Structure 1
């Protein structure tokens, strides 16, 4: 059930004739956005709780039909209110109420053409975009660049991940949003030539925090990122020309009237609004109806630990049996299945899985012309004719979903491919996971069969790279505040092998505890979780750990920030129906003793999964005080879960 009401007041603001200053505030009055035109240039600034969070920051577009960065003059402004209540089953909350005040600020350039910037300001959140009318006889334009910027106070430090260099990495598949983070870095250090991916987290000393991102990107626009820090400001950058092997425009081909995606800013004195925000979904709408009732859940996949050699019929049977033993809903059968198992035997595997109550996801290479990745099946997803033929077979065979890998960049051409795959898959009742991919930007609400993207330094790098294993806890402590707070994150984790290989005897040693691994099943949010268990774990792991994973949910009705600091530790609570889970990890070198404030569990007996000093994971029953307090010691590179 969805209720949506817009009250458009259409009231003109009083305007300062010299500076053309207009202000819009949040319903609670705590957030104020000021728009000005100074010497022909447009700016906005942000004040939160009477403290400056963004100094005058530039606004504007450059198009092939006109320049909207200089020579601007104020035309008009109009305000309104939005009240929106919606349900969403694949994000951090299932029921959302969104209330915002709106402002449409219209400007005119030297040629007499108009451009509006529309702001929606709610408690702790700002969303804004440009809206372009049809200009005289002009019905199309190309947006070549934006001057949209973010000018933070001088004391600001950053938590940013660099944009990967195009056409590098495995099979020339970059960029794929798989770089690390530099925590608490001064802005002057942010000199990456490639810029920084969304979202970006900023700490303004004792003023508070800001998270910057974008949402609502689809086939009508490229995805963007943050530029390097230059002249005191970060700006919105479009993809570079060498993405997608040089194919496709770097800007946006836009039909008029048209609009850009939303740029979003979440503000808070603490990290609580950052963790709990739903702004990526509040300002977008579903693009089509689901063709069936999609079922979310947990799954197994052999490739992550057993790798390519496991892509055979017998090993996949073992993993199907593992999924059935764990009460998991799915198995993911990864690359090379078409070559090493074949379509005919795959049908037998799918039928065998169905007899065990397990659904099948199959892996596909996205490529056609824009990468060199050799894994197959390939050339099945990149054109409409091939895609629909393949999806017809998949539906008839009983496949439930696809994992499509290796995308080539953020150009509008690639955004169109993402949307085409999702739309066609829905016609055939298939869910979609994207890997080697861009950040999802509101897609959980826009596309009903979208069930996650990687877009993170994920579990496969734990297998391949020692440095990533050493920093596993560090990255895990960041994701709830940055990457995972704006969209589903298909990490593919929960590794319970001591060594991340099939023999489990030597080699890639896991450096985190079992308690840490259990915690990430709650800490990381994604509606379809492919866990990195192996058949050996059924006998080599304590039963209570397996029992926990047999019952852990993948969809959530509420998410609450409890404590943490990005790069050090992270603790959040999630609720599924009436049951609460509290999960935390510690990235620091020493054990951390914490007193948790858990009002939702006050006076209740709960189950604690935690690590002892010798790093053995245990389970015990504890009681939360009547004040809602509970003391927990979290070991270095360890973690815990509290379950009601």
Structure 2
């Protein structure tokens, strides 16, 4: 044992990445520490990520914190120098004067599970976990559970007393970020539909910010994304704020004015209690894009039988005609579009209860079913939390109303609901979201949230939650001229930010213009069908936009999957360009776009293909102008590469299928 300890000490002194504390705990079991104890460290299974618990400089008036280091090769990057910890409840203060009294022996967490839709249908992740127990001046206990995964770090608070009811007045979690760290943040708005701003050094703004937030360290060897997961009925959603201190992003509770002032902004908790997971996805940019960590730490599925959950493409009449569902003939035209393209669904958006011009709702449902297409229907979330009066407004609001409506929808053959205008992340609204999901599961109704929260891992727990909006999507071409110029750059940021943490219904792939025009090429629009992942992918253009495409492009959009077995980031940088490959069964679909105002060429290596296998490549690229597409066919293997020309704000798609 003396020889082992001597070797470990030598490792620490020579700045190697083997952290002594983890091995000591493995050898001796749980340890108890006094106020002057050394820092505790837990490392990821691949030894690339280390989380240290740091003693405050002044024990009586300082906050404990976590520090995260990242190792690539021989280089160690201090990714996050401090994450301050603490909670303040009415009657219990876990901020100042805490004492670390115990650190558990590390436990290996391994999780394998399958999902019916998402960026990876089979999930597998593992972590090393420790629980750090603190005691406040009143001898009350607070546990901090920390996990180090190969693709990031998660931690949560735990109060394990058997009973008690409290209000959480503040959560003190705060991420310190060095000024030179590059960052992409979206200013807070209740619908999560803003644009991302890229900042560093003296350009860093002070404000409240949405999740997720992307950061790149100075040497670009380490990227990380801040988010949260497993938000349940016992807490509220949070956001990030650096208004008090420019370099510190503190978790903050909802604004009291959100949801028109309905609901309490401070969460009420009943002991025993655990907070949501605080999630830091970390690694190379490709590691961050490929991570499923937000889902991995969410609660397992509560739906035993998922055979009825069917992801798919959807025709949608709202983008091209704001009042499309009010017109029976328009509804029929979009049902015909879905049938012609082989898409399983069409959405009846708002105003289905005011349908005229040849038929009503029942006529429309009958016609849709006659075309072999399945209907989805829109609902207002209702209640005083939203000012929007669009009807029907009360049918999702209570358990009794939902049960009655879901029963009708089941009888009518409606497969899913789109529920809109939530406008708050207060605890009462979180409870409302989850009540809807629980009732919908009882009637095998799929759910799509719109005007809503960013994903928090719920699609694992409730796999019939197919997608969320929570993004500035193509609908914004109808809201003013701004999106025409901002969309190309915005589209290249979303695969690195919002879409990492869960399904995102941008309503992509539009070739004609709505109220305000595109400046993206047809190739760019085609690529969004691969770049953007959504369990229900609403393709938003009018029928002639798809009927007028060349045969190869139309065939591609008939068959592009919406649920995937794997993905790889092949190239890209937020705000400039992105190329992603997604795998379905044995085929790979590739999409790439550029935001730049000049023509550019990309050389895409196919070394991710299986060795020794020949593949048929169909490549659809920009033509001579932005409304032309060119198709080329070839046979390739994993030694080949694709040379692609993209017009300004252009793009391309490809499908690679084994011969």
1:215 is matched with 229
1:608 is matched with 619
Asked whether 1:37 is paired with 2:55, we answer yes
2:315 is matched with 300
Asked whether 1:100 is paired with 2:127, we answer yes
Shift of 1:287: 3.0
Shift of 1:13: 4.7
Is the Cα contact below 8 Å between 2:238 and 2:253 reproduced in 1?
yes
Shift of 1:293: 1.7
Is the Cα contact below 8 Å between 2:324 and 2:330 reproduced in 1?
no
SS in 2 for 1:304: coil
Shift of 1:235: 0.9
Give runs of ≥4 in structure 1 deviating > 4 Å: 13-17, 341-344, 623-626
Asked whether 1:444 is paired with 2:452, we answer no
Shift of 1:465: 2.0
The match for 1:113 among 140, 143, 154 is: 140
Asked whether 1:91 is paired with 2:118, we answer yes
Alpha-carbon distance change, 128 to 541 in structure 1, aligned in 2, over 3 angstroms? same
2:562 is matched with 554
Which whole-Å deviations, capped at 9, do the CAs of 1:463-517 have from their partners, x for residues lacking one? 22211121211111011110000110011121121x225xxxxxx2221111111
Larger deviation, residues 90-99 vs 484-493: 90-99
Asked whether 1:143 is paired with 2:168, we answer yes
Which whole-Å deviations, capped at 9, do the CAs of 1:250-303 have from their partners, x for residues lacking one? 1221111110000111112x3111100010111122234347521111111111
Cα distance in 2, alignment partners of residues 29 and 362 from structure 1? 48
Within 5 Å, give how 1:100-179 maps onto structure 2: 100-134=127-161, 138-164=163-189, 175-179=190-194
Is the Cα contact below 8 Å between 1:298 and 1:554 reproduced in 2?
yes
Is the Cα contact below 8 Å between 1:118 and 1:130 reproduced in 2?
yes
Larger deviation, residues 509-518 vs 411-420: 509-518
Cα distance in 1, alignment partners of residues 202 and 155 from structure 2? 24
Alpha-carbon distance change, 612 to 537 in structure 1, aligned in 2, over 3 angstroms? closer
Asked whether 1:203 is paired with 2:230, we answer no
Within 5 Å, give how 1:435-474 maps onto structure 2: 435-474=450-489
Shift of 1:521: 0.4
Shift of 1:208: 2.3
Asked whether 1:383 is paired with 2:398, we answer yes
Asked whether 1:273 is paired with 2:291, we answer no
SS in 2 for 1:226: strand
Cα distance in 1, alignment partners of residues 488 and 538 from structure 2? 19
1:51 is matched with 77
The match for 2:91 among 59, 65, 76 is: 65
SS in 2 for 1:451: strand
Asked whether 1:320 is paired with 2:342, we answer no
SS in 2 for 1:141: strand
Is the Cα contact below 8 Å between 1:19 and 1:36 reproduced in 2?
no
Alpha-carbon distance change, 45 to 342 in structure 1, aligned in 2, over 3 angstroms? farther
The match for 1:249 among 238, 261, 264 is: 264
Shift of 1:415: 0.6
Asked whether 1:400 is paired with 2:415, we answer yes
Cα distance in 2, alignment partners of residues 343 and 146 from structure 1? 56
Cα distance in 2, alignment partners of residues 266 and 368 from structure 1? 36
Cα distance in 1, alignment partners of residues 451 and 202 from structure 2? 28
Cα distance in 2, alignment partners of residues 332 and 179 from structure 1? 25
SS in 2 for 1:198: coil
1:415 is matched with 430
Cα distance in 1, alignment partners of residues 114 and 520 from structure 2? 36
Is the Cα contact below 8 Å between 1:225 and 1:237 reproduced in 2?
yes
Shift of 1:116: 0.4
Cα distance in 1, alignment partners of residues 114 and 638 from structure 2? 32
Cα distance in 2, alignment partners of residues 100 and 309 from structure 1? 49
Which whole-Å deviations, capped at 9, do the CAs of 1:288-321 have from their partners, x for residues lacking one? 4347521111111111101115522121111111
Number of positions where the alignment pairs a residue of Structure 1 with one of Structure 2: 615
Cα distance in 1, alignment partners of residues 380 and 99 from structure 2? 49
Asked whether 1:639 is paired with 2:654, we answer no
Cα distance in 2, alignment partners of residues 626 and 300 from structure 1? 36
Cα distance in 1, alignment partners of residues 416 and 382 from structure 2? 18
Larger deviation, residues 336-345 vs 377-386: 336-345
Shift of 1:416: 0.7
Cα distance in 2, alignment partners of residues 157 and 208 from structure 1? 11
Shift of 1:20: 4.5
SS in 2 for 1:621: strand
- What residue ranges of structure 1 are gaps of 5+ in the alignment? 1-7, 165-174, 502-507
2:44 is matched with 26
SS in 1 for 2:319: helix
Shift of 1:533: 2.5
Is the Cα contact below 8 Å between 1:311 and 1:333 reproduced in 2?
no
The match for 2:576 among 565, 568, 586 is: 568
Is the Cα contact below 8 Å between 1:290 and 1:426 reproduced in 2?
no
SS in 2 for 1:110: coil
SS in 1 for 2:403: helix
Alpha-carbon distance change, 310 to 389 in structure 1, aligned in 2, over 3 angstroms? closer
Is the Cα contact below 8 Å between 2:329 and 2:357 reproduced in 1?
no
SS in 2 for 1:479: helix
Is the Cα contact below 8 Å between 1:157 and 1:187 reproduced in 2?
no
Cα distance in 1, alignment partners of residues 365 and 477 from structure 2? 29
1:167 is matched with none
- Structure 1 length as normaliser, TM-score? 0.92
Within 5 Å, give how 1:340-355 maps onto structure 2: 340-341=355-356, 345-355=360-370
The match for 2:639 among 621, 627, 633 is: 627
Shift of 1:185: 4.0
Is the Cα contact below 8 Å between 1:20 and 1:74 reproduced in 2?
no
Shift of 1:525: 0.1
SS in 2 for 1:545: helix
- Structure 2 length as normaliser, TM-score? 0.90
The match for 2:519 among 511, 518, 523 is: 511
1:224 is matched with 238
Is the Cα contact below 8 Å between 2:86 and 2:171 reproduced in 1?
yes
Which whole-Å deviations, capped at 9, do the CAs of 1:585-630 have from their partners, x for residues lacking one? 1001112222222213476441111102423211111454652422
Is the Cα contact below 8 Å between 1:159 and 1:185 reproduced in 2?
no
Alpha-carbon distance change, 114 to 187 in structure 1, aligned in 2, over 3 angstroms? farther
Cα distance in 1, alignment partners of residues 262 and 652 from structure 2? 47
